Structure 1
Amino acid sequence: MIEVSDFRQRGGALVSVFGLVFVLVGLGIGLFFAKGAFDVYAARDWAPVEARLLSVDLQSNHDPDSATTYRVVAEYEYSWSGERLLSDRVDLHSGADNLGDYHHDLYARLNKAFRSGESVTAWVDPERPWRVVLDRGMRWERLGFGMIFPLAFGGAGLGVLLWGRRAGRERKKRDARRELHPDQPWMWFDKWRTPQIAGEARSTMWLAIGFAAIWNLVSLPILFIVPGEVSGGNTAALIGLLFPLVGVGLAVWAVREVIRHRRYGASTLELQSHPVPLGGRLGGTLNIPARLQAREVQVQLACINRYVTGSGKNRSTRENVLWEDRQRAPTTSGAGPGQTSARIEMRLPAGQPVSSEQNPKSRIIWRLTATSAEPGVDYKAVFELPVFDTGEALADAAEGDAPEVVFEADDWRETGVVHDYAAGGQRFVFPRYRLLGAGLGLMFGALVFTGVGAGMMLLGGMWIFGGIFAAVGLLLLWGAISMLFQRSEVIIGNGRLRWRHGVLGGWQEAEAGAVKSISVDKSGSVGSNLYFQLEIERWGREGKTAIAGWIPGERPARALAAHWDSLLGGERSAT
């Protein structure tokens, strides 16, 4: 039975306090910047008078940890009702900043008048003549910059408050259900109480919208700051433009998720067994409230450990794929007009952990993802499944005799390998560019890291941190090049195994009888997709040699290894 820790019991109050602080900070900053707008509105009836400048200067303040800010300071005298008065108030906006060219332009105008001895216009409050300024105009860029903070901080804080209230209600419901169903943890959660599992399309859409909005609001001030910094000679500030650029990508993601949700609606998965038995079979019907043009959907089932590392500002959430399998499910007409359905049948391994939210810092998630290529935005639905040990495992799994991965003889064809016949026997080819999407995505990340690192070193002189970024980028770049340009070709026949593997790999060969075994090893992962490589071990030699890589899915990879091993076995018998 899962115990609720004291930390989680106090979590709701801590989250509420955290959200309230964000709201108050956002409102406070917003009021500070809005005060200038209120003062401009109040000064619309102030009277113009002539003023004589006594001094003018443009003060700059350079902080090594931030940007250079500017402020115009001046002293001047003016007359009101026959009385000579002095003032040093320049405008209605307090503080220094570097938003646009306002301070430089104002200084140039006032300094020109000061040097030539010309008078300037001052604006006086008739009711309180000691209130006077040289410029009463509205600084729209400053107001826009300031309003970003209440929107970003206030919006984030309000979201945290609402999420905290909802999480508190959910926690109370789970506690009550835990007492009613102590041995059925899937009954504790709304998402698992019935065999009909709802997809995450709606929550993903709102997550994309919220994350893109907050990111762009937070990074938008950079667009106000960078031009002034660059004009002042600080070219390293150009690195800051990467954040708005990422914001553009996030906005595109959010728009695509909105289109996806509106086009395909909310898919559901009707489970045959509730919950899904660990070591048994997942049987279910995917119901899509839209007509798909594709004749099949690609289905992936993955067991994932989502864990949290670090604390404070170093806190991060990561996912480790423990197991995954895939299949293609043919589509048929759904229960209603304009709907689509697909039957899903998959076997689950017995040696993986069950669904668990006992430790919020290390959760076990069984995630099913269904996709299909469609015109425009592709179809995608994600489901989190309740997988538990119900005692309904298949016979071989229950007896402990089931292999780690079960495959059929022809499952090797799912690897995407091109099979034909050559003069030397049967040929198997994994061509280049078969992982184009994943490779380009990895290359984009590599170029971002490398570019940031190079910019930090060349423009900012930050050689240590820039070097670390560049080194990570180069490692990612090599991985992307390997995914995109790696080619594997294997020929089995005439009592021999011939292969060439890699980006520029040349031909190698071995006698069939010299091959001791063919094994499968993990070569990498992208997202929740696992990739494997096939390795041979030869008699009389230490170590293993890779002959094919970046093979999607362990089950088809093991099926291919078994198929090649059987072909080599036939060659051994023939020789």
Structure 2
Amino acid sequence: MTLTFRDDSMIIPMILGILSLAIGVILAMMALYMIRGHMEVLSWPEVSAEILEVGLYHTPHDKDSSLAYSVRVRYAYSYGGRRYSGTQVSFDVGSDNVGTYHHRIYNELRHFRDSGLPFRCYVNPSDPSEAVLYRDLRREKVRGLLVTALIFGVPGLLLVVLWMRRRKKRKREKLMHRYPVPLPSVTEPHRGRIITSCFGRDAARGALGFGLFCLLLFYFFCFLFLIPKAAELEDSFGRVIVYGFSGIPLIFALVFLYLGFRLSLRLSKYGDSVFEMTSDSGVIGGELSGRIRVRTVPPGSSPHLTFRCVRKRRMKSLSGEERTECGTLWEKSLVIRQEELPDRHTEGTEIPVLFPIPGHLPESDDSDPKDSICWELTAEAGSGWLKYEAEFTVPVFRILEGTPLPDEEI
């Protein structure tokens, strides 16, 4: 059996997380810049200014399809016996269409320019060449920037943290495979201990975070902007296209929120699954034995265990796309009947594991990233969307004949 899938499945979430986090940080810095400027300008002295030029600009430069506005002005003022020229209106940043702010100040400044009456401005006493005409804080824009920063920043941070933890875990697994200490017959049950490598807290948090991000994106971008714009279109086909495009974030949000809640419910019901081996690794020509500790399994179900040896080869297609081809070299399944499970209600459920390993199979080998051997143990119980599932990457090595066992654990 051969499966093919794209390599480095966390690359896309990592890129999305970094971009989303960067957007959130930039928007938060813009809001803090406006707040800092407002607090600073409150102590600046007020002087008279002469409005020389004023204009209202929109982006894009097509009056019928303007999305954002900004006011540009040039004025002259005197401070400390010297005459200066300024162009800064306020500590506002960028162009926008929030309210009627830009239209209001444009009409006001145009009135003072046409009438020749003096207008007020606020001068930085430590640097008189810096001045502003307005010092009011645009609270609605600051709130919008901070809310949008949270919408982008929080899911981005969650995705980055998830990627970093996943990367750290992979490095730890590679070190474990590369520097093994195989002991074939040690009866101490806690020497080899592996926590399940799938359906964990990171996956649940990542799915919930990305689903929430898509939901907020749908609300603030599609529901408040695209859908009202679509209602103004006269072409019915164009409205259908816009409505369909607006529904994409909602579909992604529902799918990832469903997956996140499903994984969270599984985690809350079953907890972390831990595979405790009776030795540090499985032994080629010997066996893999141990027990899987889990909080509970579905009542009346018989756990189904599968142990397989998988060869992973990293290859490039004709188009240059890199993929990993997985081929199963050996596989064995085992069903544990309900009456065979130890009855320990206070400590949870223990699933016994015992698989003989043929002597002709290769051992775990991760020295070549393009051609590696790994051994996987999977456990399933029950059925439905809340069935129990766990997967472990197990170290399996060949013990050379005559290899002495250490007298004590190092």
Alignment TM-score, normalising by the size of structure 2: 0.59
1:145 equivalent in alignment to 2:153: no
Q: CA deviation at 1:115?
A: 9.2
Contact 2:295 2:349 in 1 (8 A): yes
Equivalence for 1:266: 272
Equivalence for 2:379: 370
1:289 equivalent in alignment to 2:318: no
1:103-502 equivalent positions in 2, closer than 5 A: 105-107=100-102, 109=104, 124-125=121-122, 130-133=131-134, 136-138=137-139, 139=141, 140-146=143-149, 151=154, 177=179, 181=181, 184=182, 194-200=191-197, 204-210=200-206, 212-213=208-209, 224-226=220-222, 227-228=224-225, 231=229, 239=245, 242-243=248-249, 245-271=251-277, 275-277=281-283, 283-290=289-296, 292-308=298-314, 318=324, 320-322=326-328, 324=331, 326-332=333-339, 334=342, 336-338=344-346, 339-344=348-353, 353-373=362-382, 377-389=386-398
Inter-partner Cα distance in structure 1 for 2:193 and 2:157: 37
Q: CA deviation at 1:68?
A: 8.6
SS in 1 for 2:148: helix
Inter-partner Cα distance in structure 2 for 1:241 and 1:90: 39
The CA deviation string for residues 275-321 of structure 1, in whole angstroms up to 9 with x for no partner, is 4355776555433233641331233334444455569xx87664635
Inter-partner Cα distance in structure 2 for 1:212 and 1:61: 36
Selected match of 2:37 from 33, 36, 39: 39
**1:268 counterpart letter in structure 2:** V
Inter-partner Cα distance in structure 2 for 1:196 and 1:86: 72
Contact 2:381 2:388 in 1 (8 A): yes
Inter-partner Cα distance in structure 2 for 1:228 and 1:374: 43
Equivalence for 1:72: 70
Q: CA deviation at 1:86?
A: 7.9
The CA deviation string for residues 127-164 of structure 1, in whole angstroms up to 9 with x for no partner, is 66931238631312223334566656666666767777
The CA deviation string for residues 533-568 of structure 1, in whole angstroms up to 9 with x for no partner, is xxxxxxxxxxxxxxxxxxxxxxxxxxxxxxxxxxxx
SS in 2 for 1:296: coil
Inter-partner Cα distance in structure 1 for 2:151 and 2:337: 49
Inter-partner Cα distance in structure 2 for 1:278 and 1:290: 31
Q: CA deviation at 1:166?
A: 7.6
**1:141 counterpart letter in structure 2:** G
Inter-partner Cα distance in structure 2 for 1:25 and 1:302: 44
Higher helix share: 1
Contact 2:38 2:136 in 1 (8 A): no
Q: CA deviation at 1:350?
A: 7.0
Contact 1:287 1:340 in 2 (8 A): yes
Contact 2:315 2:325 in 1 (8 A): no
Q: Indicate how the Cα distance of structure 1 residues 30 and 166 shifts in structure 2: closer, same or farther if over 3 A, else same.
A: farther
Inter-partner Cα distance in structure 2 for 1:93 and 1:241: 33
1:93 equivalent in alignment to 2:99: no
Q: Indicate how the Cα distance of structure 1 residues 279 and 185 shifts in structure 2: closer, same or farther if over 3 A, else same.
A: closer
Q: Indicate how the Cα distance of structure 1 residues 324 and 391 shifts in structure 2: closer, same or farther if over 3 A, else same.
A: same
Contact 1:205 1:254 in 2 (8 A): no
**1:144 counterpart letter in structure 2:** V
Contact 1:284 1:343 in 2 (8 A): yes
Q: Indicate how the Cα distance of structure 1 residues 195 and 172 shifts in structure 2: closer, same or farther if over 3 A, else same.
A: closer
SS in 2 for 1:377: coil
**1:371 counterpart letter in structure 2:** E
Contact 2:54 2:109 in 1 (8 A): yes
**1:258 counterpart letter in structure 2:** S
Inter-partner Cα distance in structure 2 for 1:298 and 1:111: 73
- Give the share of equivalent positions with the same residue, in percent: 17
Q: CA deviation at 1:381?
A: 2.0
**2:204 counterpart letter in structure 1:** A
Q: Indicate how the Cα distance of structure 1 residues 94 and 20 shifts in structure 2: closer, same or farther if over 3 A, else same.
A: closer
Q: Indicate how the Cα distance of structure 1 residues 259 and 246 shifts in structure 2: closer, same or farther if over 3 A, else same.
A: same
Equivalence for 1:405: none
Q: CA deviation at 1:102?
A: 1.2
**1:102 counterpart letter in structure 2:** V
Contact 2:52 2:76 in 1 (8 A): no
Q: CA deviation at 1:70?
A: 2.5
Inter-partner Cα distance in structure 1 for 2:276 and 2:102: 70
Contact 1:56 1:107 in 2 (8 A): no
The CA deviation string for residues 424-476 of structure 1, in whole angstroms up to 9 with x for no partner, is xxxxxxxxxxxxxxxxxxxxxxxxxxxxxxxxxxxxxxxxxxxxxxxxxxxxx
Q: Which is bigger in relative contact order (C-alpha 8 A, separation at least 6)?
A: 2
SS in 1 for 2:60: strand
Equivalence for 1:57: 56
The CA deviation string for residues 247-276 of structure 1, in whole angstroms up to 9 with x for no partner, is 443344334333323332233334467643
Q: CA deviation at 1:219?
A: 8.9
Q: CA deviation at 1:71?
A: 3.1
Inter-partner Cα distance in structure 1 for 2:166 and 2:272: 22
Deviates more, 1:107-116 or 1:325-334: 107-116
Inter-partner Cα distance in structure 1 for 2:144 and 2:247: 18
Alignment TM-score, normalising by the size of structure 1: 0.45
Inter-partner Cα distance in structure 2 for 1:284 and 1:337: 19
**1:329 counterpart letter in structure 2:** I
Q: Indicate how the Cα distance of structure 1 residues 328 and 159 shifts in structure 2: closer, same or farther if over 3 A, else same.
A: closer
Inter-partner Cα distance in structure 1 for 2:207 and 2:66: 30
Equivalence for 1:552: none
SS in 1 for 2:345: coil
SS in 1 for 2:70: strand
**2:342 counterpart letter in structure 1:** G
